[in-house]
Structure 1
């Protein structure tokens, strides 16, 4: 059974103790126990990667490249694809923005996480779709209006609502118009397999700290031609195949071209270990917990779930909501201090989308109400229990609103 590292107990103000209800997994997931074990096993052998002939360097290089191969297979890469280690999803998407051929138009939706909204030099931003079908149709129409090299950049699962996007259908539209598609898989990867072939993706980006491997590594995987044709993301040792006496530089092709400096060996091994373990894990209980949380929120008269699509749209373990009558920051502090419940408060690095959904949610509760300035997000994962969900719902109900 897959499990995570967590504190045994958390002290409460009344002197009692309880287990911590970590409902902030979407921000930074805890560490899998098997990931911690893999890191501990490797640390005595930690050494230079791709540099040195000693036992430590040889073992470290082998582990680093085996981690790359694991991710290549786990992500469904094929001939002509590369796996480049990065710091996180944001870094991976900025790397992709760096290697775009000159004149490339990037088409995104205006509801993306900032990591997939801000790096692009010449973006065409599509308005907010209210259904998966509308997303596909509006992308089709947008691509009719552009020419030249085109990259479509979309999320697989919203970090605000948890809703799954129709990536396969969007990829089919993109390819029909001769465009490539990059998928921000940061929030999909902890909950479901990320297979480039099944998604129809040309590129995928994800973060280790979202998949229970919080050691500072991410990955960009996908077609190697743009990566090999572009100048290095970082200039320095490791990216260079040779430097002449007059400082003319010959750069490596392949992943090394964009992995200058000493690589994050521990992060790469942790990420590969987590992905391999998650591929065989039974995560079916999550759907029940999400349904339980959403049903409980629906019964609360001053709480409204944020959503973009129909209420029945499939989703991962993320539920964000608006609360009327309470300051969201104060409420989140109270949840943590008095009830050992960790949630996230804010706009979740998707400010345009979250503000829009807060206005809509407040309007459904009370058309005359001023929308709160921030949402609260409960995100579930490995280690979440029914008791954690019920504890949150209990705090959100009568004790807060006098019912």
Structure 2
């Protein structure tokens, strides 16, 4: 049995079933939002007594907070192999990071149709024009299509995901960097899925910008980062106008600060930055081979088990051509994705994600726009979690649900209580 690799907050959580009683929660929704590492929560608890204003406070707590914020930037930069002059720009999440970059990019942007909306929608608002390359049947043909698009007309930026949040396939960043730079473009990588699972060294790879989210890196405290070259960010108008982003202000004029302060108006999320740095430290201290072996064992158990179930189809772009993260997105014949997800939760205590995963163009291509179900593993996942999912799906395809579900695929009735502090009513899910 594969045990968890690092303890996470909520690792001992028990959840109610519609049939009565409780079971340990099998959290297989890590790709959406990962739980906090125990060490991250401990660091936040250690820091909170010192939380105070930064940069201009004279008190001891302010000095500690200011130092912690600066140290967090250094830790993140080291974790991703940043160049000495790269900027570590604190943002809320990957989406926020790419919106900031979209306001700074001085020209057209080329993307793939496999992207998360975080790396599709911001370019609609950019000063330049977004050009999208549709993925081909093979990875080699897709790379050729990217190169042809870059050669057809100059672009300022190639913006690509490091790993698909739908299929788990890892894109060849070394090849994509080479294509971009050969045609005079920079490259920005959506690292939201890649960074929690694979070591990334942007200086060694030649990546110009990397964005990722704390909530996917076991630090769900509201911070993310955009790390990369300073010049575009220095030339761009401030992302937000406000205190902290300026050198001086008069009633008639303003002198804006240089990055990162230029794009971080308002009081920064110091707690989030401290948490993100703690997560980087924890993952950085793991032997890379240890994490890879843990994830590979769970990934293979998950994918092999799904392949054995009749009527279950696992989605993929280039089967057998790329490295795979520990996730699988699938459909179940004659079973709507919302029903599958609700059934797994209600009758087996398994948490998965269903919907189109903020990747609608890709789901249009892979499923004709239909929703699917995604199961994903992480540092706090055990083989027992994966087995519970597979056992539940086996029961579903062989005998169907034991409970009743309404027209919206919700358990009817649903006797499972929610904590009173959560509001007492279950929210609708999906998307």
TM interval, short-chain normalised: over 0.9
Provide the C-alpha distance between the structure 1 equivalents of 2:168 and 2:210, rounded to a whole number of angstroms: 18
CA distance, structure 1, for counterparts of residue 44 and residue 352 of structure 2 = 28
Mapping 1:248-267, distance limit 5 Å: 248-267=253-272
Does structure 2 retain, via aligned residues, the 8 Å contact 1:168–1:198?
Answer: no
The corresponding residue for 1:393 is 390
SS for the counterpart of 2:212 is: strand
- Structure 2 unpaired stretches of 5+: 401-431
Q: In the alignment, what sits opposite 2:309?
A: 300
Secondary structure, in 3 states, of the residue corresponding to 1:273?
helix
- Of 175, 183, 205 in structure 1, the residue corresponding to residue 181 of structure 2 is 175
Aligned match for 1:343, one of 330, 349, 352 = 352
TM-superposed CA distance for 1:80, in Å, is: 2.7
Runs of 4+ in 1 over 6 A off after TM superposition: none
Report matched runs for 1:64-103 at 5 Å.
64-101=69-106
d(CA) in 2 for partners of 1:82 and 1:13? 50
For residues 179 and 327 of structure 1, what CA distance do their matches in structure 2 show?
Answer: 42
1:5 aligned residue:
9
Which residue among 130, 133, 151 is the counterpart of 2:140? 133
Which deviates more, 24-33 or 3-12?
3-12
The one of 152, 155, 176 aligned to 1:145: 152
Equivalent position SS for 2:232 = helix
Matched, 1:36 2:38: no
Q: 2:275 aligns with which of 270, 273, 298?
A: 270
State the distance in 2 between where 1:293 and 1:79 align: 41
SS, match of residue 103 in structure 2: helix
- Cα distance in 2, alignment partners of residues 223 and 399 from structure 1: 50
Q: Distance in 2 between matches of 1:203 and 1:31?
A: 25
> SS at 2:122's partner residue?
coil
**Which region of structure 1 is more displaced relative to structure 2, 77-86 or 309-318?**
309-318
User: What 5-or-longer segments of structure 1 have no aligned partner?
Assistant: 360-371
1:325 matched to 2:322? no
Deviations 1:231-268 (A, max 9, x none): 11000000010012x33000111200001000000000
The answer to which of 124-133 and 250-259 deviates more is 124-133
Q: CA deviation at 1:110?
A: 1.4
Shift of 1:349: 0.1
2:143 aligns to what SS in structure 1? Answer: helix
Q: Quick one: distance in 1 between partners of 2:181 and 2:322?
A: 25
Q: Given the superposition, is the C-alpha separation of residues 134 and 45 from structure 1 closer, same or farther in structure 2, using an over 3 Å criterion?
A: same
CA RMSD, 1 decimal: 1.5
Deviation string 1:142-173 (CA, Å, 9 cap, x unpaired) is 111112x5100000000000000011100011
* 2:378 alignment counterpart: 381
Work out whether residues 90 and 225 of structure 2, in 8 Å CA contact, stay in contact via their aligned partners in 1. yes
Count of aligned positions? 387
Contact kept in structure 1, 2:94 and 2:224, CA below 8 Å? yes
User: How many angstroms apart in 2 are the aligned matches of 1:211 and 1:131?
Assistant: 30
Report how far residue 399 of structure 1 moved: 4.3
2:108 to 93, 105, 109: 105
CA contact (8 A) 2:311 2:397 kept: no
2:68 touches 2:274 (CA, 8 Å); kept in 1?
Answer: yes
- String of CA shifts for 1:44-95, please: whole Å, max 9, x gaps: 0000011211111111000000000111111111133111000000000000
Q: Aligned equivalents of 1:187 and 1:288: distance in 2?
A: 18
State the Cα deviation string for residues 148-206 of structure 1 (Å, max 9, x = none): x5100000000000000011100011111111000000001111112102332100000
Are residue 228 (structure 1) and residue 234 (structure 2) matched?
A: yes
